[in-house]
Chain A
Amino acid sequence: MIIELMISTLVFPGVLFISALSFFTEWYLRKGVAHMQSRMGPTYVGPIGLLQPFMDFVKLLVVKEETKQKYSLTWLAELFGVLGISAIVSSLLLLPLSPIRIAADYDFLIYIYLLGVMVPIAMVAMSLCMSNPFVSVGASRLLSIVLIVEPAFFTGMLTPILIATHISSSAPMFCEEAYCKLPLYSIFYSSITIGSAWSNPIYATALIIGLAAVVVSVQAKAMLNPFNIPEAEQELIAGIKTEFSGPLLAIFNLLHNVELSSSILFIIYVFLGGPYPFRHLSIQGVLVLMAKYIAILTLVAVVRALFGRFRVEQGVWILVKYSLIPAIAAITIVSLSNFYA
């Protein structure tokens, strides 16, 4: 049991796997956006520049000096960075991907706590450990966005959870025998059930609206255009990460990329059923899983390339309009449908 837990947290889908996935995610985003902008993107390290993000990470970690200033608390910032990454790694144990699958009634709330509370707090605390006027403005912007984006993201994610719970309580034949005894309002349960819900037109409508809301909020969570407001380069130099350098910057970049990768992983499991209609341990399942991941990532890259940057109040309003309200609409549709069913 302990060995399985160690493997799950440190190797797959833990630190090693999610770090590798985050390096791939960064490479794909950089390469994809570069192609859309008539550029080449990373080409130097590895085949078609595939190892460039990894080498960037190693370079920052090993070669580059960590610049310290009088008012900085570098060790505390690093600690918060590691805490943030740990929170994400822990949340991965809720997925069917993990050899150890943690599932309990309402474990979705644990997921909210790990990804929606711990990670933003870790990011803000990291930046505030390194005092600077640009950092202060960037942190205040990040907090303004987090206050909208996290509720929007989790409201959107609640849509498939509600659907899956209703399916199991009303018609257990939808789910397979072995899984029907599993707890409700759970990430794991929802991810193995939701695939069949897409055939219901009302649920499918709610899921599409919820998925759109969640993809918009992922864009903001990852601080990509048009929501790269907290680290707006041309306004605040680097915003929340202005004072980061060397290993600290490496940790922050890893935290940022790991958050994006895990958010997409959760979307494809909770909304799209992971490898559905195939099983995990099949070649088709793995291929479907990869295709879904690439599709969501491509969508993120296209939005990143298509927009400029909003001002903070404009960004917040856009998030309310295109993320929070659709997410609420999606769960309203599901709730009404469940109520009248």
Chain B
Amino acid sequence: MTVDKVIEIPVSLEVPIGPQHPALHEPVMLKVYAEGEEVVKVEVNTGYNHRGIERLTEKNSFYRNIFIVSRVCGICNIVHSDVYVRAVEQVMDIEPSRRAKYLRVLAMELERIHSHMIINAIMAEILGYDTLFMYIMRDREKVMKAKEILTGNRVLGDYLMVGGVRRDLNEVDRERLKNILVKLEPEVWKYIKVFEEDETLWKRLRGVGVIKPRDVTLHGLVGPTARGSGVNIDARREGYDAYGEVPFNIIVRSDMDSWGRMMVRWHETIESISMCKYILENLPSNGPAVPDETRLPRKFPVGEAFARVEAPRGELTYYVMSDGRQNPYRVKIRTPSFNNIINSGFSYIGHTIADVPVILTSYDPCISCMERAIITDLRRGERMYLRFKDLSTRLK
């Protein structure tokens, strides 16, 4: 027998990063195939944290859903409740007061500050720079305190309600918030300087995970990930809530790498601090910020609404459909991490194993935001969303 064909299989190492891994703070699986240290393929596997929230919203009333959607993501809970509430307000044709709109923007921008600070801290930790991590997290506590003053809670604010917000801001608290922001700004500039000048950060982030503007549009990437590659998209430009009245700049950089994405977040933090200061200086006094809950409508019209918001991680959209009953007929959520993480497999190739957690972190992944379970019936061509209970029953 003669041999006429030789099949060569390259030696590759399969390194599972996740679903439980020190680089990840939520469960996701990056199956990394490497030749030596060089990554040749990455598979992004999700499904370890599915909670069936979209289905849950269909089983609860419009008002109770505000609390459910704000649990989609712990860090950006206020933007989730804001976009949902705005969609519901569109369906019910309710307009909140100007003061309420300003307070909503204030809460969302405080959330953006602490979200950007935590991901930059995590990036430092991923690079083994735990000293920087500790310092950023220490200063982030100031923002958490500010959020507590405004909403009553450090993390889960549950601040929004249909027609306004749940708590108004008094003069004493307004001054306290101003003081916190004044103290925070120089600290943030200090961290920007560290990110610009530190050798380890510079070496580990520059030129790592380069995404060209073409790839951004091709894979539908959003938020700081897109803006770090020079693509100027920001849902706040629409002017929803009070964004049309509060002046701000959209930060766009052309670095295209992990460092550029982190710098977009730092400069957005500075921009958010300025926005918060402006809001606290120019908070309108016309109209109640907190609506009378007992006078909110109990009957809901038939209709549908689509709303979007610029969450810290990118554009977050909600579609809410009402068929006239107490519960929404459908709530469809599209989170920024869903786009940014699942479509990001291409950006790891050619880099080393050491770069994989760095690139992943530069997208600011929120795993609990992006979990979906879709069953596609190939024979009938139908797609169905499943609850966990149904999934477990079928698996049995």
Give Cα A225 to B124, complex, Å.
13
- Top 7 A-B pairs ranked by shortest CB distance? A309-B128, A308-B129, A308-B200, A308-B127, A37-B134, A234-B23, A234-B126
For A112-142 the 0/1 string (1 means CB < 8 A from B) is 0000000000000000000001101100100
Cβ-neighbour of B135 out of A38, A311, A312 (below 8 A): A38
Cβ-neighbour of A136 out of B13, B124, B135, B355 (below 8 A): B13
B131:A305 contact, CB within 8 angstroms = yes
Cβ of A181 < 8 Å from any Cβ of B?
Answer: no
Cβ of A101 < 8 Å from any Cβ of B?
Answer: no
CB distance from B192 to the nearest CB of A (A): 16
**Which of chain A's residues have a CB closer than 8 A to the CB of B198?**
308
Give Cα A138 to B356, complex, Å.
15
Closest A residue, CB atoms, query B15: A133
**Which of chain A's residues have a CB closer than 8 A to the CB of B199?**
307
| Residues of A bordering B, CB below 8 Å | 33, 36-39, 133-134, 136-137, 140, 225-226, 228-229, 232-237, 305-312, 314
Closest A residue, CB atoms, query B198: A308
CB distance from A71 to the nearest CB of B (A): 15
Give Cα A10 to B129, complex, Å.
38
B interface residues, how many (CB within 8 angstroms): 34
Give Cα A181 to B182, complex, Å.
71
CB distance from A317 to the nearest CB of B (A): 10
For B14-44 the 0/1 string (1 means CB < 8 A from A) is 1110000111000000000010110000000
Cβ-neighbour of A309 out of B16, B21, B22, B127 (below 8 A): B127
CB contact under 8 A between A311 and B204, given known A137-B353, A232-B354: yes
Closest A residue, CB atoms, query B24: A234
B135:A235 contact, CB within 8 angstroms = no
B128:A233 contact, CB within 8 angstroms = yes
**Which of chain B's residues have a CB closer than 8 A to the CB of A37?**
130-131, 134-135
Give Cα A136 to B37, complex, Å.
11
Closest B residue, CB atoms, query A309: B128
**Which of chain A's residues have a CB closer than 8 A to the CB of B34?**
137
CB distance from A138 to the nearest CB of B (A): 10
For B114-138 the 0/1 string (1 means CB < 8 A from A) is 0000000000111111111011001
B200:A310 contact, CB within 8 angstroms = yes
**Which of chain A's residues have a CB closer than 8 A to the CB of B132?**
308
Give Cα A39 to B23, complex, Å.
22
Give Cα A310 to B202, complex, Å.
10
**Which of chain B's residues have a CB closer than 8 A to the CB of A237?**
21-22
Give Cα A236 to B355, complex, Å.
11
Closest A residue, CB atoms, query B13: A133
CB distance from A59 to the nearest CB of B (A): 21
Q: Provide a sorted-by-A list of 24 A–B residue pairs whose CB atoms are within 8 angstroms.
A: A37-B134, A38-B134, A38-B138, A133-B14, A136-B13, A137-B34, A137-B37, A225-B129, A228-B128, A233-B22, A234-B125, A234-B126, A234-B357, A235-B356, A236-B353, A307-B129, A307-B199, A308-B128, A308-B201, A309-B129, A310-B203, A311-B203, A311-B355, A314-B203
**Which of chain A's residues have a CB closer than 8 A to the CB of B128?**
225-226, 228, 232-234, 307-309
Cβ of B352 < 8 Å from any Cβ of A?
Answer: yes
**Which of chain A's residues have a CB closer than 8 A to the CB of B352?**
311-312
Closest A residue, CB atoms, query B138: A38
Closest A residue, CB atoms, query B36: A140
Cβ-neighbour of A39 out of B134, B200, B203 (below 8 A): B134
Give Cα A232 to B352, complex, Å.
13
B23:A307 contact, CB within 8 angstroms = no
**Which of chain B's residues have a CB closer than 8 A to the CB of A137?**
13, 15, 34, 37, 353
Give Cα A62 to B354, complex, Å.
35
**Which of chain B's residues have a CB closer than 8 A to the CB of A140?**
36-37
**Which of chain A's residues have a CB closer than 8 A to the CB of B22?**
233-234, 237
Give Cα A99 to B15, complex, Å.
50
**Which of chain A's residues have a CB closer than 8 A to the CB of B23?**
234-235
